[in-house]
Amino acid sequence: MPQQFQAYLIGKNDDGQRCQLTQLDDDDLMEGDVTVRVEYTTLNYKDGLALTGRSPIIRKFPLIPGIDFSGEVIESGHPDFKPGDKVILNGFGVGEEHSGGYAQKARVSGDWLVPVPDGLDTRRAMAIGTAGYTAMLSVLALEDHGLEPGDGEVLVTGASGGVGSIAVAVLGKLGHQVVASTGRMQERDFLVGLGAAEVVDRADFADKPRPLARERWAGAIDVAGGNTLANVLSQMKRASAVAVCGLAESMNLPTTVAPFILRGVTMYGIDSVMAPLERRKQAWQRLASDLDPKLLDELSFDLAFDELPRAAVDILDGRIRGRAVVKLP
């Protein structure tokens, strides 16, 4: 007999999108060859957009939101996984067009899953979540470009948020001179504690960007886009790189080709949704080794499952610091 479980379900009618906490059963799960008992999920900016309906994140209705989760395999027809395995999922359209992590159960393709690496458990995996995984993909892109500790200042924008806070912590532990940009200067001590050498106001990047400004940054991770990214690009050192992984400010980019053709700056787009499996495994292995677990615990907090709709508004309005971890009831 199908077993019931709790889930948030987003539906749509002529009046718009509606999210409700409800009871579903196994027959409501979508196609896949692995069924997971979800232990933890988290709240990302994209989840906030999905839950509130502020942006058309959900592309198939009805749908269980939640773009990432961790948990234990309970059924598997996939050769790489067996019942009892601890796994992580993020990306591949989960929480957008395939039901995701805001439920006690999920059924997905085993090709989308990554084993929880040694050194992490399922809770800490979601303290990292898609945001931290995206941050590590960004760090890997800068390293592949050749960035090393000692090369100079590395800028992280949106440093108080999920991606930014993990990026600051990882870069700091690796020995980089991290400059954290934030719109919440009251978080200065928090960011210094994570590993920032300096904290600057995001207002410093609000002016109309010049084609080229004084060279400062040896590398940068940007979650903002828009005017902020345009200013960052104008300040990059010769032959440096920016990893671009967000659009919290804007999808637009009011810049010129000057940084690219006069200073040889490279801009890497970070695709966390469809990154290849081996790159995913590399990122999660590095997170297990390069992220101080004590710092990870400090930058994460517990959020009750029934508080997700309220917290979705908070994350969009910039009122959440660090990583929200949700234990499934």
What Cα–Cα distance (Å) separates residue 54 from each residue in 21, 90, 91, 158, 318? Answer: 19, 21, 20, 20, 15
Q: Compute the distance between CA of residue 181 and CA of residue 173 in angstroms, rounded to an integer.
A: 18
Show pLDDT as tens, one digit a residue, over the chain (329 residues). 568 999 999 999 888 899 999 999 999 999 999 999 999 999 998 999 999 999 889 999 999 999 999 999 999 999 999 999 999 999 999 999 999 999 999 999 999 999 999 999 999 999 999 999 999 999 999 999 999 999 999 999 999 988 999 999 999 999 999 999 999 999 999 999 999 999 999 999 999 999 999 999 999 999 999 999 999 999 999 999 999 999 989 999 999 999 999 999 999 999 999 999 999 999 999 999 999 888 888 889 999 999 999 999 999 998 888 789 999 99
- pLDDT score of 294: 85
CA atoms within 13 A on the CB side of 50: 32
Q: Give the number of other Cβ atoms within 10 Å of residue 140's Cβ.
A: 18
| 130-269 has CATH 3.30.565.10 classification | no
From the list 117, 114, 107, the residue with the least C-alpha distance to 77 is: 107
Considering the domain 4-116+299-327, what is its CATH architecture? Alpha-Beta Complex (3.90)
Contact 24, 103 (CB under 8 A): yes
Q: Do 180 and 158 form a contact (C-beta atoms < 8 A)?
A: no
Domain boundaries, the chain: 4-116+299-327, 130-269
Q: Closest Cα partner for 18 from 49, 60, 62, 57?
A: 62
Quote the CA–CA distance of 43 and 320 in Å, as a whole number.
Answer: 10
Where helices occur in 43-95 by DSSP H, the ranges are 45-52
The model carries a pTM of 0.92
